[in-house]
Amino acid sequence: WDEPLIFELSRAGRVGYTLPKPIEDVEVEIPEKLRRKSPLDLPELSEPEVVRHYTRLSEMNYGVDSGIYPLGSCTMKYNPKINEEMANHPGVAYVHPYQDERTVQGALKVMWELEQWLKEITGMDRFTLQPAAGANGEFTGVSIIRAYHIDRGDTERTEMLVPDSAHGTNPASAAMAGFKVVEIPSNENGTVDLEALESAVSERTAGLMLTNPNTLGIFEDEILEIARIVHEAGGLLYYDGANLNGILGKVRPGDMGFDVVHLNLHKTFSTPHGGGGPGSGPVGVKDFLKDYLPVPLVGYDEENDRYYLDYDVPKSIGKVKELYGNFAVMVRALTYLKVMGADGLREASEVAVLNANYIAKKLKGTKGYELPHKELRKHEVVFSAEPMKRETGVKALDVAKRLLDFGLHAPTIYFPLIVHEALMIEPTETVSREELDAYVEALRRISDEAYSNPEIVKAAPHNTAVRRVDDVIAAKRPIITWRMYRELGEKGDIDI
């Protein structure tokens, strides 16, 4: 399990590539000022060595196909393989984005069809598929809100309201778009505190960014009231789609009063997360905002059965990403939608919610874990290990690490910030009851250990490829690249 760095496997003279010969073997001179003179310390390996190296690295990694992966708010559902098959189609891989429209009707149709699905699922009127990820979508959405207000001459709306339970990307995206972020506290039910909201809104309010179900997995049951308050104050309502899997196919953000939504195709719509991307974060808006969407949009000329790129978006915010977004991810999501259909999507959210509540029910009452706020959850449930920490010194982090010893992936921990020692569990609909039972069983066993032999939990993990990884030293003396490592080594200033 101790795989060297690819640089350390290098041997001078080895070759792993083939290239076609140049068309003509003429000498083309790079201007002297630009010619590369600095050394190029890239590794030299043959193809079999490269393949073996990355095969071994992959074997040192846990994915959804390895087992349950209940990272809260990440919706780590199974990634159907037919999605991959379609995304690998030559009609995806070998197509240039600037091709003449007549030669990319298939690609444009995929985008157009995907938009129709997303519109109906969310209750929105128009979508851009350009954003590359959720946060990129948030930035798009709040930029649209900004443009809308300014366009109407409403230039003093500089505040974006964000609940204290929100994802960090919400305030960060609002800030990037130039807003001042105002935090709204949660009430004892874990939902938005309406009084606080009332007192926060003003003529400076540009909007409210909300996740529903929220990051506690709790449905904001006063959503219509929330929408009224924000709208009456002149603000718009922004929907963070990270948790859409809790209501997919049953309830629509558009029907709750949201004006802008972003979705995560890599969460809700089963495209793989790839170790942190590529994702895709389409943004949908109500009709009155569609003129602000990024360019281009995809249009359909029904009469001539022709799809086209529409750059004619009068008040467009511009672009948030090159070209049309992560097209290969869109192909995956559309494949999933067509296989699932209305019935499948509804089933997905129902069982996702069932699974989360099943865990809540089964784990509740286990010593050391506490279930704050109301009991009924949607797609995820957040426990607090605060009692355990208090009584045994075992922290949420330790619980997470100990889970790894049982071959299980840990939940999201220490988020949302409003729950101390948070364990945020989102099983999704694609795990089996036996896997849920095994997960609860492991958490119970860890509770037993914490109260009988806490050291075993605190020193976890014991059975993983590597022992607990020190992130403090990593930040204190950063080694980010082979180049830095090599230089430290040359100075004799290294102990790793």
Partner 1 sequence: MGKHYIPNSADREEMLKEMGLSSIEELFSDVPKGMVKEFNLPEGKSEYEVFLELNEVLSKNRTVLEMPSFLGAGTYFHYVPAHVRYLIERSEFLTAYTPYQPEISQGMLQALFEYQSLIAELVGLPIVNSSMYDWGTAMAEAALMSARVTKRNKFVVPRHLSPEKRRILGTYTTGPGLEVVEVPWNERGQMDLEKLKEAVEGAAGVYVEVPNFFGLLEEDVREIGEIAHEAGALFVVGVDPTILGIVEAPGELGADVVVGEAAYFGNPMNFGGPRAGIFATRNDRKLVRQMPGRIIGMTRTADGERAFVMTLQTREQHIRRAKATSNICSNEALVAVAAAIHLATLGPKGLRELGETVLKNTAYLKKRLSEIAEVPFEGVNFKDVLLRFEKPYGKIHEALLERNIHGGYYVGEHFPELGESALFAATETTKKEWIDALVEALKEVA
Site for partner 1 in 317-356 (CB under 8 A): 317-329, 331, 334-335, 338-345, 347-348, 350-351, 353-355
Residue 478 found at the interface with partner 1 (CB under 8 A): yes
Q: Which is nearer to partner 1, 135 or 197 (CB)?
A: 135
Q: Which of partner 1, a copy of itself, none binds 219 (CB below 5-8 Å, type-dependent)?
A: partner 1
What value does the CA radius of gyration of the chain take, rounded to a whole number of Å? Answer: 25
Q: Which is nearer to partner 1, 331 or 450 (CB)?
A: 331
Alpha carbons within 13 angstroms on the beta-carbon side of residue 232 total 10
What's CA 156's distance to the chain center, in Å? 32
CB of 335 to a copy of itself, least distance (A): 12
Task: Say which residues have a Cβ less than 8 Å from residue 439's Cβ, sequence separation at least 6.
Answer: 68, 70, 359, 408, 425, 427
Which residues from 198-227 bind partner 1, rule CB under 8 A? 218-219, 221, 223-224
Q: Which of a copy of itself, partner 1, none binds 74 (CB below 5-8 Å, type-dependent)?
A: partner 1
Per-residue buried b or exposed e for 190-219, using 16+ beta carbons within 10 Å of the residue's own CB: bbbbeebbeebbeebbbbbbbbbbbbbbbb
Q: Which of a copy of itself, partner 1, none binds 67 (CB below 5-8 Å, type-dependent)?
A: a copy of itself
Residue 434 found at the interface with a copy of itself (CB under 8 A): yes
- Report CA-CA distances (Å) from 292 to 165, 319, 357, 390: 29, 11, 40, 51
Which residues from 220-259 bind a copy of itself, rule CB under 8 A? none
Q: Which is nearer to a copy of itself, 81 or 180 (CB)?
A: 81
Site size toward partner 1, by CB under 8 A: 216
Residues 10-39 as x/- pattern, contact with a copy of itself by CB under 8 A: -x--x---x---------------------
Beta-strand (E) ranges in 246-322?
Answer: 260-262, 283-285, 297-301, 306-310
Q: Which of partner 1, a copy of itself, none binds 254 (CB below 5-8 Å, type-dependent)?
A: none
CB of 353 to a copy of itself, least distance (A): 18
Which letter does DSSP use for residue 210 in this model?
Answer: E
Q: Which of a copy of itself, partner 1, none binds 459 (CB below 5-8 Å, type-dependent)?
A: partner 1
Which residues from 33-52 bind partner 1, rule CB under 8 A? 33-38, 40-51
Cα separation of 349 and 390, whole Å? 36
Beta-strand (E) ranges in 249-384?
Answer: 260-262, 283-285, 297-301, 306-310, 381-384
Q: Which is nearer to a copy of itself, 430 or 447 (CB)?
A: 430
Q: Are strands 236-240 and 260-262 parallel, antiparallel or unpaired?
A: parallel
Which residues from 123-182 bind partner 1, rule CB under 8 A? 132-136, 138-139, 143, 146, 167-169, 171-179, 181
Q: Are strands 205-211 and 159-163 parallel, antiparallel or unpaired?
A: parallel
The residue from 22, 153, 314, 492 that contacts partner 1 (CB under 8 A) is 22
Which residues from 229-268 bind partner 1, rule CB under 8 A? 247, 249-252, 255-256, 264, 266
Task: Say which residues have a Cβ less than 8 Å from residue 271's Cβ, sequence separation at least 6.
Answer: 79, 83, 265, 279, 280, 329, 332, 333, 336
Residue 474 found at the interface with partner 1 (CB under 8 A): yes
H or E element, residue 215? none
Q: Which of a copy of itself, partner 1, none binds 380 (CB below 5-8 Å, type-dependent)?
A: none
The 10 Å Cβ neighbour count of residue 485 is: 15
Which residues from 380-399 bind partner 1, rule CB under 8 A? none
Residue 67 found at the interface with a copy of itself (CB under 8 A): yes
Contact 115, 127 (CB under 8 A): yes
CB of 234 to partner 1, least distance (A): 20
DSSP codes joined into one string, 376-427: --SS-EEEE-HHHHHHH---HHHHHHHHHHTT----EES-STTSTTEEEE--
Q: Which is nearer to partner 1, 46 or 187 (CB)?
A: 46
CB of 51 to a copy of itself, least distance (A): 6
Which residues from 313-342 bind a copy of itself, rule CB under 8 A? 339
Cα separation of 424 and 72, whole Å? 5
The residue from 269, 415, 425, 457 that contacts partner 1 (CB under 8 A) is 415
Q: Which of a copy of itself, partner 1, none binds 364 (CB below 5-8 Å, type-dependent)?
A: none
At residue 157, what is the residue type? R
The residue from 5, 41, 42, 55 that contacts a copy of itself (CB under 8 A) is 55
Residue 59 found at the interface with partner 1 (CB under 8 A): yes
Residue 86 found at the interface with partner 1 (CB under 8 A): yes
CB of 218 to partner 1, least distance (A): 8
CB of 284 to partner 1, least distance (A): 14
Cα separation of 150 and 153, whole Å? 5
Q: Which of a copy of itself, partner 1, none binds 453 (CB below 5-8 Å, type-dependent)?
A: none
Contact 197, 210 (CB under 8 A): no
- Report CA-CA distances (Å) from 294 to 21, 128, 239, 314: 42, 7, 18, 10
CB of 87 to a copy of itself, least distance (A): 14
Per-residue buried b or exposed e for 456-469, using 16+ beta carbons within 10 Å of the residue's own CB: bbbebbeebeeeee
- Residues in contact with a copy of itself by the rule CB under 8 A: 11, 14, 18, 46-49, 51-52, 55-56, 59, 65-67, 78, 80-81, 339, 430-434
